[in-house]
Structure 1
């Protein structure tokens, strides 16, 4: 089989539901992260989240842990989900190149490490939980699971 026939066969291969699910989850994460980024830069009070008690979005999003090396965590989340959205479009799943799959895997692994760090910061350092951040954490976990499951079901060609 020639390279061009392999590329043509790959382009016609049905994607199944998991790649489409990664796209939907990535776009949802992009939307929530865009909202959190907007709130960060406008110092908004429209987080629609209680500002007292354990659930306190304002306390979390304005804490010292809301920035990493001076970069707002919300902006890092926006960049993460923008990258994952780009890697989750059908063309990236159908390509014969191994790089999109590798980047997806590295992306979700990095995302999960970062989510663990942020959950630790919320629970043990800030002593407050942000509901919007929790949505981002959950979407990252779902995205991680989808990418890992897809990789287990359809391993990359060697």
Structure 2
């Protein structure tokens, strides 16, 4: 290999390693909004959880009936999987997403590992939310409306982070798949959220009829 060729290969490798990627204003705002909704839901649930600990007779405002009962959800073992209330984790993680979105609006650009880290974090978040949803539906037998808001926000957050990474070739995928995802980006979150709503309706239909 000649010196010129070695220099060319080294330059391309350096450029690839140092390449940074920004975010569109739409995606940046999506991070701010979905992260903000997650913070809001986590904040309300955390406050109600502490009030419930102080006064076992306290009834959160989102406890409406036996099905829509934040009280039953907050008192479950699943509400403190890591040894502390789950929404306290949400306050931190959703807050980080808001900060990333605000930085992107200000023009911040990040390397590939950063965007992959965000994708991995949102993947963990959406997986955790789907597990909590299954527990709420089939183990606890009650729903928390604030939790439902956090689930929907996390689904949208995860999907559009994935779309962003596919569009900018941060995640490697065949070009036809990337083109399809980019063109019909709304299909997956719409179907996903509609499926959650269908599961909720199917699970609690008889209970709602008896209220």
Q: Shorter-chain TM-score category?
A: 0.7 to 0.9
Offset at residue 148 of structure 1 (A): 1.4
Instruction: Give SS of 2:111's match.
Output: coil
TM-score by length of 2: 0.63
1:24 counterpart residue number:
33
Q: Would you say 1:66 and 2:75 are equivalent positions?
A: no
Aligned residues, how many?
Answer: 155
1:132-147 to structure 2, matched below 5 A, reads 132-147=146-161
1:122 counterpart residue number:
136
Select which of 99, 102, 123 maps to 2:113.
99
2:92 counterpart residue number:
79
Instruction: Give SS of 1:71's match.
Output: coil
* 8 Å Cα contact 2:63-2:69 kept in structure 1: yes
Distance 1:14 1:74 in 2: 28
Distance 1:25 1:91 in 2: 14
Offset at residue 156 of structure 1 (A): 2.9
Note closer, same or farther for the CA distance 1:48–1:18 as it changes in structure 2 (3 Å cut).
same
Note closer, same or farther for the CA distance 1:130–1:100 as it changes in structure 2 (3 Å cut).
same
Distance 2:65 2:83 in 1: 26
Q: Which stretches in structure 2 are left out of the alignment for 5+ residues?
A: 1-10, 173-211
Distance 1:18 1:62 in 2: 36
**Is 103-112 or 27-36 further displaced after alignment?**
27-36
* 8 Å Cα contact 2:23-2:104 kept in structure 1: no
Select which of 148, 152, 158 maps to 2:162.
148
TM-score by length of 1: 0.81
Q: Which stretches in structure 1 are left out of the alignment for 5+ residues?
A: none
Instruction: Give SS of 2:41's match.
Output: helix
Distance 2:79 2:66 in 1: 18
* 8 Å Cα contact 1:53-1:128 kept in structure 2: yes
Pairwise CA RMSD: 3.1
